[in-house]
Structure 1
């Protein structure tokens, strides 16, 4: 008999008799992948996909990443009072929360305009009735813990020139930031690839990952929906290993402000990768053109296809690029995002406002 907690049935949004505090909080946040009162277009798999240019994603991320840095810069300019670490954590936690909520709502609009992958066969899974509280806790921990350990490891309120100029310090080193963003995503992907692949291939580890694969057609709120062991590694373990790789292996500074921007790039990719949007969009990376030329770029469909498989049957283990999938022979064939099925003239706009 199947475990009732494994059910992905989602009826609670239209049945308020089920509602408790977690249901009310999620409903108030209003970051669902679709409005129930609005239609979602359905396309055949052979219909052309519209294209989201790389620069649109970069613009969206960098503008939203710069807003808290600019506010912090202005505070220091007018008061000359550095943020206490606790204040810095609260401020940048709220900034990452703002970033995530804005992305979720922006992608909802794109979903209602362009539809979803495999939509002719299956709608996107909703937040399951059996997992509303779990979803809420997962989303909270993901938003809370990353700024917490970023602050703990790298925040320093001493009066060094770089540290006292949150935005200007990054603008003074654009080439360094370019490679930090590029290589941090690749480092995250290296550690994630092996941890992810092992959970699929090693039987005792699958039990920590199977919860995440209950959804075959995920939505962004299910990005971190998983067993608690996996949640910890997704939220904290993998970013920490990537930071150590960058700072002590590749000798990049990886200070507080650089890591803030790098982590928002990773967050954007994680949310987009679970969106299932029926658009041809590459996970943003400053080296995307090089990766595309090498056949190592990751598009939304790649991770979406990964979710339709399970134990020892999957592919596309990377979530930022396909570098390690290409190197180790685990790339899967695309269905709707095939090169000949993309209409590059039909351009998607990622709305800023």
Structure 2
């Protein structure tokens, strides 16, 4: 049976009757949180779960993340961004090194010396799947270690039974489309292996940083629109069916939102800020990681690994709590950026942090 309790958090009743259950505003009047019943797939022993449910098991943190916890009086710890950068480098570099070594070892006159675009697509798709699995494991470990935001009011939401197979399939589609798109937009050349100063520019950290900012402009514009106009909210409403998401629920969406966010928004960023095929693959890995971070809810001050430190002096860096609050606000919005708070700052759509407050 679904358990019900009254929280200390106070919200204003939504003005959108259609999304009333999914919308929360700024403090005004008490409401009662209704927790979801534990989905049936979570109750099954692992050996009784189907393929989709076993993959979704990777997204499960420990039990304390799904039960209300005592309020933590300590401020969230400041996560070492350099530790994350080192981890990302260790996860992203091997596939690029493997292709480079292949071209070095296999003689040029050998038929198998170069990688056909189809071979490159299969290889980098597999590499991105492995990266995704390792990223989710890392994020759930941080959830276990630090707990989650707002855990004294409401724990994380499990993935609903009806969404399990769709979510896993969406992740696979996301990975394949992003890999293929990167090879196409980046102008993949089968005769040119990954190399610093050539297919990967020495200035690529700056280029990737600019790419993320351009991406955030397109995403902010789209994201604020779907929260502002009722006829567009229907596109995005499914994503807000969770108030306290987990990493895999970053891709919880209807078909139209998937098309817009997986294809068109990164396409716009790549047309404005072109990158090579190998630079785009690096970027897609980091982007996938950032999406998971933003939805894991881990209770830590955790900034973007590429642009976070640059933007922090201007108070435009984004942290986990920013997007976590976005989900709690529901349709009423705030914190529309996903990579930065640049445009939230410019257009005054920032929601004040509750737990990540600098003393």
**Aligned-residue offset at 1:227:** 1.1
Which runs of 5 or more residues in structure 1 are unaligned? Answer: 248-253, 341-353
**Aligned-residue offset at 1:123:** 1.1
Residue 30 of structure 2 aligns with which residue?
none
**260, 264, 267: which is aligned to 2:281?**
260
- 2:171 touches 2:251 (CA, 8 Å); kept in 1? yes
The 1:237–1:8 alpha-carbon spacing in structure 2 relative to 1, beyond 3 Å, is farther
- 2:199 touches 2:278 (CA, 8 Å); kept in 1? no
2:262 is the counterpart of 1:235? yes
Whole-angstrom distance in 2 between the partners of 1:39 and 1:236:
33
Whole-angstrom distance in 2 between the partners of 1:264 and 1:282:
16
The 1:117–1:37 alpha-carbon spacing in structure 2 relative to 1, beyond 3 Å, is closer
- 1:85 touches 1:155 (CA, 8 Å); kept in 2? no
**317, 327, 330: which is aligned to 2:349?**
330
The 1:279–1:53 alpha-carbon spacing in structure 2 relative to 1, beyond 3 Å, is same
2:230 is the counterpart of 1:203? yes
**Aligned-residue offset at 1:8:** 5.7
The 1:86–1:29 alpha-carbon spacing in structure 2 relative to 1, beyond 3 Å, is farther
2:327 is the counterpart of 1:307? yes
The 1:51–1:225 alpha-carbon spacing in structure 2 relative to 1, beyond 3 Å, is same
Deviations 1:100-123 (A, max 9, x none): 110100111111111111111111
Q: TM-score, normalised by structure 2?
A: 0.83
Residue 173 of structure 1 aligns with which residue?
201
- 2:188 touches 2:276 (CA, 8 Å); kept in 1? no
Which runs of 5 or more residues in structure 2 are unaligned? Answer: 1-17, 23-34
Q: TM-score, normalised by structure 1?
A: 0.84
**Aligned-residue offset at 1:245:** 0.9
Q: Number of aligned pairs?
A: 323
Whole-angstrom distance in 2 between the partners of 1:155 and 1:95:
19
The 1:42–1:113 alpha-carbon spacing in structure 2 relative to 1, beyond 3 Å, is farther
Whole-angstrom distance in 2 between the partners of 1:41 and 1:180:
42
**Aligned-residue offset at 1:290:** 2.7
- 1:10 touches 1:129 (CA, 8 Å); kept in 2? no
Whole-angstrom distance in 2 between the partners of 1:213 and 1:275:
14
Whole-angstrom distance in 2 between the partners of 1:46 and 1:90:
48
**74, 87, 95: which is aligned to 1:68?**
95
- 1:279 touches 1:300 (CA, 8 Å); kept in 2? yes
**130, 146, 152: which is aligned to 2:178?**
146
Deviations 1:277-331 (A, max 9, x none): 011110212x4333000010000000000001222x1100000000111111111
Whole-angstrom distance in 1 between the partners of 2:317 and 2:64:
35
Whole-angstrom distance in 1 between the partners of 2:81 and 2:355:
19
The 1:8–1:68 alpha-carbon spacing in structure 2 relative to 1, beyond 3 Å, is farther
